[in-house]
Amino acid sequence: MAGIDETIAGPGLGSRALTMLARWALVIALVIAWELTTRARVFTPFMLPSPERVLARIWDDGQAGDLFINIGLTLYRALTGFFIAATLGLLIGVAIARGGALGWFFDPVVSVGFPMPKITFLPVIVLWLGLYDTAKISMVVFDAVFPVITGTVLGIKSVEKELIWSARSLGSRERDIWPRIVLPAAMPQIFTGLQVSLPIAMIVAVVAEMLMGGYGMGGAMVQASRMADSPGIFAGIVEIAVVGWFLVKGMATLRRRLLAWHPEAETPTGV
Amino acid sequence: MTKIVIDKVRHKYRPARGKPVLALEDVSLEVRDKEFLALLGPSGCGKSTLLYLMGGFLPVESGTISIDGKPIAGPGPDRGVVFQHFALFPWKTVRQNVLYGLERQGLAREKREAVAKKFIDLVGLSGFEDNYPSQLSGGMKQRAAIARTLAVDPSVLLMDEPFGALDAQTRALMQSELLGIWRASPKTVVFVTHDVQEAVYLAGRVVVMSARPGRVKAIIDTNFDKTAPDVLRSAKFGDMVDQIWGLVKEEAIKAQMGRGT
């Protein structure tokens, strides 16, 4: 009880630690439950290896170097795909928001493409591009581009006309309006699109690796599964969770830096 | 001397959905050089539309509007605008907002900084130069917006209910400060409001507009000495407010009725 009162009273040192603890409570509870379940032998160690065994496995993979090769490759595919998706998404989003012929072309393409499960195109991509990086990165781009497009279109469409009018009456030339006013004003929503897109890029990179094989975190897990290497499978899940967490946190930090002016930037959020 | 001539302007407002609405019907008006003119009327009477036409933000489709004898063609830095909701660039600090127009003019760096500082001081925002708009109160935001507009030295100041979003005390304070700034260096001001007291206090002439479609219903001279500290409680001020309120009230009722059906 005392702890809770303290949290309400304000940010003391104790309450800060408590808030941190509360944020991680679920994760900690999950690990404890995992540990207890394995100790109680609810499942065989093959079905559910203990946290120590999984950690030891991650350590061994690290020692052998495989861990870093796999993480590096997956990140390379996810991030390359993400940056291409971000660039393309921004360009297509601007085209749609501006209307015109390009927008007229892309608008229906996006409406049909966004809700479609992009994985259905995997056989086609494999047929055209093979099984290596180009194919995997293409899958990432294909999936991750849509949130950026919608974020950009919505961001641009919600720019207040008074902002543009102000800029014009302050002497802006027509070609200054987009780069100097519209895009900065739309930035919070564009960034939200990017924040949605990055985890998708990571997910698709892993899934593509699982389906196409080869090195990478997804490929390693499928390999472990084939070898009936149960600590390897669980090690993969933990590794992907940790890498994903760093990516999402990194994006949130970047947002707070870049969009310090945005009121939302001041409130701490989980994402 | 006449600064702005509005001649037989009609304007149709075309909503994205639904039928076009006649917002202004045959409006003719002359704004004198360096006068403080208030456009007063019930909401929806087209007073903001008229201001936006003068600003060049909306196309003049019927009739003409000219400034210094030249028909207006789009917005320009000769006409500064202050909006009700400030329209500050939220990603720029107060200083960067004020500098924006000066950068467009291509002034030298030191000169720009000096002018920006002068106008930030003038509106009483020194110490807040590096704050973002989201960190300022409503009154301070509007001060920043006024500084940004004045900094480019427009010959006409178009103000669209600039104090409409502020609380009563802040509004009173801002009104007297605006009047002080205008007296110190008079510009042609067109000030849109639906507040009769505000119009009488600030303006030398008050244009009362009719309910939609907007027409000029009456032009009242409100130019008397308002420098006395208790002018707002003087008999003359009260009479003038009553007289103008009488004119506005009819239109406000009409506007309400029109909206009710």
- DSSP structure string for A55-118: HHHHHHHHHHTHHHHHHHHHHHHHHHHHHHHHHHHHHHHHHHHT-HHHHHHHHHHHHHHTTS-G
Q: Is B87 on the interface with A (CB under 8 A)?
A: yes
User: CB–CB of B132 and A172 under 8 A?
Assistant: no
Query: CB count, 10 Å around CB of B180?
Result: 11
B59 interface with A at CB cutoff 8 Å: no
Mean pLDDT of B206-234: 89
- Kindly give, in sequence order, each residue whose CB lies less than 8 Å from that of residue B194, ignoring residues fewer than 6 positions away: B40, B41, B42, B43, B47, B161, B164, B248
Q: What percent of chain A has pLDDT over 90?
A: 60
pLDDT at A1: 39
User: Are B62 and B116 in a shared domain?
Assistant: no
pTM, whole model, 2 decimals? 0.85
What interhelical angle do A230-258 and A66-97 show, nearest 10?
Answer: 40
Residue A5 pLDDT > 60: no
**Does residue B128 belong to the interface with chain A, where contact is any CB pair within 8 Å?**
no
Question: Across the interface, do A262 and B90 touch by the CB < 8 Å criterion?
Answer: yes
Of A165, A171, A185, the CB nearest to B57: A165
pLDDT the model gives residue A105 = 86
pLDDT attached to residue A27 = 87
pLDDT band at B84 (very low <50, low <70, confident <90, very high): very high
Do residues B39 and B51 both lie within one domain? yes
Residue of A169, A259, A262 with shortest CB distance to B80: A169
Instruction: Tell whether the model's pLDDT for residue B111 goes beyond 90.
Output: yes
What is the CA angle A234-A236-A239, rounded to 5?
115
pLDDT at A270 over 70: no
How much is the pLDDT for B89? 97
**Structure confidence at residue B259 (pLDDT):** 59
State yes or no: pLDDT of A66 exceeds 70. Answer: yes
| DSSP state string for B103-117 | HHTT--HHHHHHHHH
pLDDT at B110 exceeding the cut of 70: yes
B100 neighbourhood in chain A, CB within 8 Å: 167, 170
**How many other CB atoms sit within 10 Å of the CB of residue A52?**
11
pLDDT of residue A90: 96
Residue that finishes a domain, picked among B133, B153, B173:
B153
Residues B168, B56 within the same domain: yes
CATH topology of domain A53-266: MetI-like fold (1.10.3720)
* The most confident of A8-12, A115-119, A165-169, A224-228, by mean pLDDT: A165-169
Examine the pLDDT at A7 and tell me if it is beyond 60. no
- Asked if the model's pLDDT at residue A265 lies above 60, the reply is no
Residue B232: pLDDT band with limits 50, 70, 90 = confident
Is B73 in the same domain as B109?
A: no
From the list A163, A168, A187, the residue facing B75 with the nearest CB is: A168
Question: Is B169 in the same domain as B135?
Answer: no
- Per-residue pLDDT for B121 more than 90? yes
Tell me the pLDDT tens digit for each residue of B33-60: 999 999 999 888 889 999 999 999 999 9
Does residue B212 sit in the same domain as residue B120?
Answer: no
How many A/B residue pairs have CB atoms within 8 Å? Answer: 75
3-state secondary structure of B92: coil
Token readout for A143 is 């999936």
- Model confidence at A263: pLDDT above 80: no
- Percentage of residues of chain B with pLDDT beyond 90: 77
Give me the pLDDT at residue A2, please: 42
d(CA B90, CA B100): 12
Residue B240 and residue B217 share a domain: yes
ipTM of the complex: 0.92
Sheet holding B62-67, edge to edge: B21-32, B2-13, B62-67, B70-71
Angle at B31 between CA B30 and CA B35, to 5 degrees: 150
Q: What is the pLDDT of chain B when averaged over all its residues?
A: 92
The pLDDT value given to residue A139: 94
Range of the domain at B41: 2-78+155-260
For the stretch A126-163, pLDDT in tens is 899 888 889 999 999 999 999 999 999 999 999 999 99
Q: Which residues contact B214 (CB under 8 A, 6 or more apart)?
A: B23, B24, B25, B27, B41, B45, B46, B47, B49, B50
Flag if A261 and B75 touch (Cβ within 8 Å): no
Q: Which class for A253: exposed (0-12), middle (13-18), buried (19 or more C-beta within 10 A)?
A: exposed
Q: Domain-by-domain residue ranges, chain A? A: 1-42, 53-266
pLDDT, mean of residues B105-113: 91
**pLDDT (tens digit per residue) in A88-111:** 999 999 999 988 788 888 888 888
Check whether residue B141 and residue B30 sit in a common domain: no
Please give the residue of chain A at the shortest CA–CA distance from B156: A169
Q: Which two tokens stand for residue B41?
A: 């009327």
- Residues of A at the B interface, defined by Cβ within 8 angstroms: 160-163, 165-173, 176, 181, 184-185, 187, 259-263
Same domain, B68 and B184: yes
- CA–CA separation, A8 vs A3, rounded Å? 9
Given an 8 Å threshold on Cβ–Cβ distance, is A166 in contact with B83?
yes
B3 near A CB under 8 A: no
Q: Please tell me the distance from the alpha carbon of residue A257 to that of residue A205, in angstroms, as a whole number.
A: 27
Confidence at residue B43, expressed as pLDDT on a 0 to 100 scale = 81
pLDDT in tens, A208-231: 999 988 899 999 999 999 998 999
Domain count within chain B: 2
Distance from CA of B152 to the nearest CA of A (A): 7
pLDDT of B106 > 80? The answer is yes
- The answer to whether A244 touches A206, Cβ cutoff 8 Å, is no
Q: Is residue B166 part of a domain?
A: yes
Question: For chain A, what is the mean pLDDT?
Answer: 88
Angle at the Cα of A260 from the Cα atoms of A255 and A261, rounded to 5 degrees: 125
Supply the CATH number for residue B214's domain: 3.40.50.300
| pLDDT tens-digit readout, B216-227 | 999 999 988 888
Mutate to test the interface with A, among B103, B134, B137, B141 (most CBs of A within 10 A): B134
Query: Is the Cβ–Cβ distance between B92 and B116 less than 8 Å?
Result: no
Of A131-135, B85-89, B176-180, the range with the lowest mean pLDDT is A131-135
Instruction: Give which of A169, A173, A182, A258 to mutate to test B binding, by max B Cβ within 10 Å.
Output: A169
Distance (Å, rounded) from C-alpha A202 to C-alpha A212?
Answer: 15
B34 and B124 share a domain? Answer: no
Contact B241, B231 (CB under 8 A): no
In this structure, the answer to whether residues B128 and B65 fall within a common structural domain is no
Is A169's CB within 8 Å of B133's CB? Answer: no
Q: Helices in chain A by DSSP H: which ranges?
A: 2-9, 13-39, 51-64, 66-97, 100-113, 122-129, 133-157, 161-169, 174-177, 183-212, 217-226, 230-258
In eight-state DSSP terms, residue B214 is B
Closest residue to B152, CB basis, from A160, A171, A181: A171
